[in-house]
Amino acid sequence: MIVRDEATMLPDCLASVAGAVDELVIVDTGSTDGTQRLAQEAGAVLLTSAWNDDFATPRNVGLRAATGDWALILDADERLVRGAARVIRDAVRDDQIDCGLLPLHNAAREDADVEDVRGGQGRRAEVSYLPRLLRRLPDLAFEGIVHENVTPWLLPRAERARILPGADIVHLGYAASVQRARQKYARDTALLEKAIARDPRDPGPYGYLALAHLEAGRVDRAEAVAEAGWPRLPPPSRGTEVTALRLGVARAALALDRGDRDRALATLTTAGRHWPDHPDLWFLRGCTAEAHALDAETATERTEALREAENAFRRAHAGRDGIFAQRLLTGATTWATWLRRGAIALLKGRPGEARDAFEHADREGAPSVLCDLGRAEAALARRQPETARALVRRALDALDRPDERDVPPRARADAHLLAALVAEAEGDLRTMATQLTATRRHLGGGSFAASHRRPRFFDAATVLALHHGQFIDAPGPFGQLSVLLRGETRAVRGGAARPLDPGMRDRLFRRWILSGRTEALEHLLRPEAEVRLPGLAGALAAVVSDLGRDRAVMAAS
């Protein structure tokens, strides 16, 4: 182990390895909180190593001081699960491997129960498999001033590496409270910048640094680093997988955020040549195809893009039980994939399938707020506004709680948008207007937590204007309807790519008819209108028929 000011974490870590190891070798890099005393009381061989901005140096000091034939590498914020000692002892005794890959689970909370995290209930992300049980051969050494690793030592011995199920590690250090306390972002970025300055040609640190900036919300910095590192990526070969994955995920995610689908797809294609079928890359392919569907100009183009997105998300989910030394996107094979599949089902007009997907996401650990918003949207599509209203209210209440974890700040804009859509479904246009104003305020210049809701935002704003007899220019089918209602027939961007929401359409028609605005509605009966929005005349006729039946019933009563 290497430690510094780990008095809080160290005792439980040492307790977890009882029975698994013969000696404890702890290298301290400058503790002042009693860590050294605790190490000595535990019977450890305590060494000190002056901190020189290089994590590999103290790791190697510890390796050289160890006397066993094997080394188990842990950090103070990690715990072995129950039963791991026996699995490790058996692996060493069998003597068939040089490296044991131990399953590592990132805890969602610092105080999470170890067994709950191992079982997935308290886990923050997918399981990774890391080289932590190492045969101490003469050339064994760590390298890398941050994110230190033994990759050069391991690659020639890849066939003698084996996953050790049951020797799981629970990692508490990625819990948000611990990360904040340690100021890991500032420390890691400084070290990575130093590594790049030392050797600008090495692409490895660029990917780590771009992701660190991206996770901290420093988008411009992340983009600059990713673009600087990308040309330095070598052709695919053994050992380039992790570097290509990190740079590829960062660069593709940034391109999607900028709306540059072509760059995202080209990046994912290149990264995929280094690490074929990695689920993170498939997940981002799905996001890229979904973005294409949202921007499609024709129904055929939209349908094909949705099919590609659905297939890509299924491929990502299929990697759930795969063995990957690096997994970067939280939920890419579990809950996040189900959330996206739910969105795709909504876009395809399958609200029942969408509801089931959001239920899957909830069971697999998605933030409850995001699941409730998805379920609310599915309920609206099933014409259940009361159910949708209760779900949106619950989501807004949860967003007001300071302990709500892992929810994008922009989710509040999604919640207010859905509140506006619920109000529209219930005929409360005043509340709809208030909620759309709140949506704009929380959206700012950013995007929604779920990208498919941006077109819905344009639809809602256009429908609200039309309810008040105002014509506005907007993309999408309701923007096209606005153009037709004022007697024009020009095409609107994306106007024919997706259908009009039938509930919103029919409520609008009903309001216009009852308010006597029939002259504008007559424009919808022209052949040119049917070309722009197929089925429009039939929908209008159905509303007129329904109103006629309602009046007949009222007259009879």
- Which stretch of DSSP H or E encloses residue 2? strand 2-3
Q: Cα–Cα distance between 216 and 306 in angstroms, integer?
A: 31
pLDDT at 402 over 70: no
pLDDT at 557 over 70: no
Coil, helix or strand at residue 70: strand
Q: Cα–Cα distance between 162 and 90 in angstroms, integer?
A: 13
Instruction: Name the H helices within 230-367.
Output: 241-258, 261-274, 279-295, 299-318, 335-347, 351-363
Widest Cα–Cα separation across the chain: 97
What pLDDT is stored for residue 555 in this prediction? 63
Residue closest to 92 by CA, chosen among 44, 41, 34, 136: 136
Q: Cα–Cα distance between 53 and 223 in angstroms, integer?
A: 25
- Which stretch of DSSP H or E encloses residue 45? strand 45-48
Q: Are 34 and 7 in contact (CB under 8 A)?
A: yes
Long-range Cβ pairs for the range 430-433 (8 Å, 24+): 432/460, 432/464, 433/464
Residue closest to 246 by CA, chosen among 275, 189, 281, 207: 207
pLDDT at 403 over 70: no
Q: Cα–Cα distance between 541 and 518 in angstroms, integer?
A: 12
Kindly report the CA angle at 322 between 375 and 127, in degrees rounded to 5?
70
What pLDDT is stored for residue 134 in this prediction? 97
pLDDT at 433 over 90: yes
As a whole number, mean pLDDT of residues 315-343 equals 91
How many residues would you count in the chain? 557
Backbone phi, psi, residue 143, to 5°: -140, 155
Give pLDDT tens digits for 80-105: 999 999 999 999 999 999 999 999 99
Structure tokens at 17: 């390895």
> Pairing between strand 2-3 and 25-28?
parallel
What pLDDT is stored for residue 152 in this prediction? 87
Q: Cα–Cα distance between 491 and 265 in angstroms, integer?
A: 29
Backbone phi, psi, residue 375, to 5°: -65, -35
Q: Are 103 and 167 in contact (CB under 8 A)?
A: yes
CA distance between the termini of the chain: 84
Structure tokens at 506: 């029919």
The rounded percent of the chain whose pLDDT value lies above 90 is 78
Coil, helix or strand at residue 107: strand
pLDDT at 1 over 80: yes
What pLDDT is stored for residue 111 in this prediction? 85
Q: Cα–Cα distance between 220 and 205 in angstroms, integer?
A: 17
What pLDDT is stored for residue 554 in this prediction? 58
Residue type, 330: T
Instruction: Name the H helices within 24-68.
Output: 35-41, 56-65
pLDDT at 79 over 60: yes
Per-residue confidence band for 445, with pLDDT thresholds at 50, 70 and 90? confident
Greater confidence (303 vs 324) lies with 303
> Pairing between strand 78-80 and 70-72?
unpaired
What pLDDT is stored for residue 364 in this prediction? 86
State whether the Cα torsion 408-410-415-417 is positive or negative: negative
Most confident of 166-170, 234-238, 471-475: 166-170
As a whole number, mean pLDDT of residues 276-281 equals 95
Q: Are 132 and 72 in contact (CB under 8 A)?
A: yes
What pLDDT is stored for residue 123 in this prediction? 82
Query: How many CB atoms lie under 10 A from the CB of residue 70?
Result: 17
Q: Cα–Cα distance between 127 and 341 in angstroms, integer?
A: 22
What pLDDT is stored for residue 151 in this prediction? 87
Backbone phi, psi, residue 23, to 5°: -150, 155
Give pLDDT tens digits for 109-122: 888 889 888 888 78
What pTM was estimated for this model as a whole? 0.89
Backbone phi, psi, residue 80, to 5°: -75, 145
Q: Cα–Cα distance between 103 and 331 in angstroms, integer?
A: 17
Long-range Cβ pairs for the range 476-484 (8 Å, 24+): 477/533, 478/504, 480/532, 480/533, 481/505, 481/524, 481/533, 481/536, 483/532, 484/523, 484/524, 484/529, 484/532, 484/533, 484/536
Give pLDDT tens digits for 136-191: 999 999 998 888 999 889 988 889 999 999 999 999 987 766 666 567 888 899 99
| Owner of token pair 């918003």 | 373
> Pairing between strand 99-106 and 128-135?
antiparallel
What pLDDT is stored for residue 370 in this prediction? 95
What pLDDT is stored for residue 179 in this prediction? 64
Mean pLDDT, the chain, rounded, equals 92
Q: Cα–Cα distance between 462 and 420 in angstroms, integer?
A: 12
What pLDDT is stored for residue 17 in this prediction? 96
Structure tokens at 475: 């993309």
Q: Could you give the C-alpha distances from 398 to 107, 124, 387, 407, in angstroms and in order?
A: 21, 19, 17, 10
Query: How many CB atoms lie under 10 A from the CB of residue 307?
Result: 14
